[in-house]
Chain A
Amino acid sequence: MVKSAYSISTKKEKIENHIIVVWVDNEAGVLARVIGLFSGRGYNIDSLAVAEVDKKKNISRITISTSGTTQVLQQIKLQLGKLIPVHKVADFPKNKKTLLREMALLKVVSSKTKLEKARKLCKKYKYTILDKTDKSFVLEISALKKDIDELVKKLQPMGLASTSRTGVVAMTKGSEIYKQN
Chain B
Amino acid sequence: MSNLMTGAEIVFKVLEDQNVKHIFGYPGGAVLPIYDELKNHKKIKHILVRHEQGAGHAAEGYARSSGKPGVLLVTSGPGATNAVTALTDAYMDSVPLVCITGQVPTHLIGTDAFQECDTTGITRPCTKHNWLVKDVNKLSSTLHKAFEVATTGRPGPVLIDIPKDIQFKKGKYIKAKELIKKNNKSVIKFNGQDNSIEKAVALIKKSSKPIFYTGGGVINSGPRATELLRKLISITGFPITSTLQGLGAFPGEDNQFLGMLGMHGTYEANNAMHDCDLMINVGARFDDRITGKIDEFSPKSKKIHIDIDPSSINKNVKVDLAIVGDVKLVLDKLISGIQERYPNFAESNKQEISSWWKQIENWRKKNSLGFSNSKEIIKPQYAVQRLYELTKAQDTFITTEVGQHQMWAAQHYKFDKPNRWMTSGGLGTMGYGLPAAIGVQIANPEKLVIDIAGEASVLMTMQEMSTAVQYNLPIKIFILNNQYMGMVRQWQELLHEKNYSESYTAALPDFVKLAEAYGCIGIRAKKPEELDEKIGEMLSVNRPVIFDCVVDKVENCYPMIPSGKPHNQMLLGDQDKEDEISEEGKVLV
Given known contacts A81-B311, A84-B149, A6 and B124 CB-to-CB distance under 8 angstroms? no
| Contact indicator B563/A7 (Cβ below 8 Å) | yes
* B288: A residues at CB distance < 8 A: 6-7
Contacting residues of chain A (1-19) with chain B, CB-CB under 8 angstroms: 1-11
Contact segment of B38-46, B68-76, B292-300 = B292-300
Q: Does A93 contact B (CB under 8 A)?
A: no
* B124: A residues at CB distance < 8 A: 29, 32-33, 36
Q: How far is the CA of A83 from the CA of B129 in the complex (A)?
A: 7
Residue from B311, B318, B587 in contact with A79 in the complex, judged by beta carbons closer than 8 Å: B311
Q: How far is the CA of A81 from the CA of B314 in the complex (A)?
A: 15
Q: How far is the CA of A71 from the CA of B294 in the complex (A)?
A: 14
Residue from A5, A82, A85 in contact with B564 in the complex, judged by beta carbons closer than 8 Å: A5
Given known contacts A71-B318, A82-B309, A10 and B295 CB-to-CB distance under 8 angstroms? yes
| Contact indicator B311/A6 (Cβ below 8 Å) | no
Which chain A residue lies CB-closest to B292?
Answer: A7
Q: How far is the CA of A79 from the CA of B315 in the complex (A)?
A: 10
| Contact indicator A4/B294 (Cβ below 8 Å) | no
In the complex, what's the smallest C-beta–C-beta distance from A78 to chain B, in angstroms?
A: 4
Which chain B residue lies CB-closest to A32?
Answer: B124
Interface 1/0 per residue, B288-332 and A, CB below 8 Å:
100111110000000000000111011100100000000000000
Q: Does A40 contact B (CB under 8 A)?
A: yes
* B128: A residues at CB distance < 8 A: 84
| Contact indicator B563/A6 (Cβ below 8 Å) | yes
Q: How far is the CA of A33 from the CA of B121 in the complex (A)?
A: 9
Q: How far is the CA of A82 from the CA of B129 in the complex (A)?
A: 10
Which chain B residue lies CB-closest to A8?
Answer: B564
Q: Does A74 contact B (CB under 8 A)?
A: yes
Among B288, B310, B587, the most chain A Cβ lie within 10 Å of the Cβ of B310
| Contact indicator A4/B295 (Cβ below 8 Å) | no
Residue from B125, B132, B564 in contact with A7 in the complex, judged by beta carbons closer than 8 Å: B564
In the complex, what's the smallest C-beta–C-beta distance from B118 to chain A, in angstroms?
A: 10
Interface residues on B, range: 20 to 34
Q: Does A164 contact B (CB under 8 A)?
A: no
Q: How far is the CA of A40 from the CA of B121 in the complex (A)?
A: 13
* B313: A residues at CB distance < 8 A: 78
Contacting residues of chain B (125-163) with chain A, CB-CB under 8 angstroms: 125, 128-129, 132, 149
Q: How far is the CA of A44 from the CA of B295 in the complex (A)?
A: 24
Q: Does A87 contact B (CB under 8 A)?
A: yes
| Contact indicator B563/A4 (Cβ below 8 Å) | yes
Q: Does A181 contact B (CB under 8 A)?
A: yes
Which chain B residue lies CB-closest to A71?
Answer: B314
Q: How far is the CA of A11 from the CA of B589 in the complex (A)?
A: 19
Across chains A and B, the number of contacting residue pairs, with CB separation under 8 Å, is: 70
Q: How far is the CA of A36 from the CA of B563 in the complex (A)?
A: 29
In the complex, what's the smallest C-beta–C-beta distance from A60 to chain B, in angstroms?
A: 14
In the complex, what's the smallest C-beta–C-beta distance from A75 to chain B, in angstroms?
A: 6
**What DSSP secondary structure best describes chain A's contact surface?**
loop
| Contact indicator A74/B314 (Cβ below 8 Å) | yes
Contacting residues of chain B (473-514) with chain A, CB-CB under 8 angstroms: 491, 495-496
Q: Does A51 contact B (CB under 8 A)?
A: no
Interface residues on A, range: 20 to 34
* A29: B residues at CB distance < 8 A: 120-121, 124, 132
| Contact indicator B310/A28 (Cβ below 8 Å) | no
* B291: A residues at CB distance < 8 A: 7
Q: How far is the CA of A71 from the CA of B316 in the complex (A)?
A: 9
| Contact indicator A7/B495 (Cβ below 8 Å) | no
| Contact indicator B311/A75 (Cβ below 8 Å) | yes
In the complex, what's the smallest C-beta–C-beta distance from B160 to chain A, in angstroms?
A: 13
Q: How far is the CA of A83 from the CA of B314 in the complex (A)?
A: 19
| Contact indicator A81/B564 (Cβ below 8 Å) | no
Which chain B residue lies CB-closest to A87?
Answer: B183
| Contact indicator A4/B589 (Cβ below 8 Å) | yes
Which chain A residue lies CB-closest to B154?
Answer: A82
In the complex, what's the smallest C-beta–C-beta distance from B193 to chain A, in angstroms?
A: 20
Q: How far is the CA of A135 from the CA of B419 in the complex (A)?
A: 76
In the complex, what's the smallest C-beta–C-beta distance from A8 to chain B, in angstroms?
A: 6
Which chain B residue lies CB-closest to A7?
Answer: B293
Q: Does B185 contact A (CB under 8 A)?
A: yes
| Contact indicator B311/A82 (Cβ below 8 Å) | yes
Residue from A3, A25, A28, A82 in contact with B185 in the complex, judged by beta carbons closer than 8 Å: A82
| Contact indicator A4/B491 (Cβ below 8 Å) | yes
| Contact indicator A78/B310 (Cβ below 8 Å) | yes
Q: Does B206 contact A (CB under 8 A)?
A: no
In the complex, what's the smallest C-beta–C-beta distance from B319 to chain A, in angstroms?
A: 12
Q: How far is the CA of A65 from the CA of B565 in the complex (A)?
A: 36
In the complex, what's the smallest C-beta–C-beta distance from B81 to chain A, in angstroms?
A: 17
Which chain B residue lies CB-closest to A3?
Answer: B495
Given known contacts A4-B563, A82-B309, A11 and B318 CB-to-CB distance under 8 angstroms? no
Given known contacts A3-B589, A78-B311, A40 and B495 CB-to-CB distance under 8 angstroms? no
Interface 1/0 per residue, A148-181 and B, CB below 8 Å:
0000000000000000000000000000000001
* A87: B residues at CB distance < 8 A: 183
Among A6, A32, A36, the most chain B Cβ lie within 10 Å of the Cβ of A6
In the complex, what's the smallest C-beta–C-beta distance from B114 to chain A, in angstroms?
A: 23
Q: Does B586 contact A (CB under 8 A)?
A: yes
Q: How far is the CA of A67 from the CA of B582 in the complex (A)?
A: 44
* A7: B residues at CB distance < 8 A: 288, 291-295, 563-565
Given known contacts A32-B124, A36-B124, A81-B185, A5 and B563 CB-to-CB distance under 8 angstroms? yes
Please list 18 pairs of residues, one from A and one from B, whose beta carbons are closer than 8 Å in the complex, sorted by A's number.
A3-B496, A4-B496, A7-B288, A7-B294, A7-B563, A9-B295, A11-B295, A29-B132, A40-B125, A71-B318, A75-B314, A78-B310, A79-B311, A81-B311, A82-B185, A82-B309, A84-B149, A84-B185
Which chain A residues have a beta carbon within 8 Å of chain B's beta carbons? 1-11, 25, 28-29, 32-33, 36, 40, 71, 74-75, 78-79, 81-85, 87, 181
Known contacts A32-B124, A71-B318; 15 further A-B pairs (Cβ under 8 A): A1-B586, A3-B589, A5-B563, A5-B564, A6-B564, A7-B563, A8-B564, A9-B295, A11-B295, A29-B121, A36-B124, A40-B125, A82-B309, A82-B311, A83-B129
Which chain B residues have a beta carbon within 8 Å of chain A's beta carbons? 120-121, 124-125, 128-129, 132, 149, 183, 185, 288, 291-295, 309-311, 313-315, 318, 491, 495-496, 563-565, 586-587, 589
Please list the 10 inter-chain residue pairs (A to B) with the smallest Cβ-Cβ separation, ordered nearest first. Answer: A78-B311, A4-B495, A84-B129, A7-B293, A7-B564, A40-B125, A78-B310, A79-B311, A3-B495, A6-B288
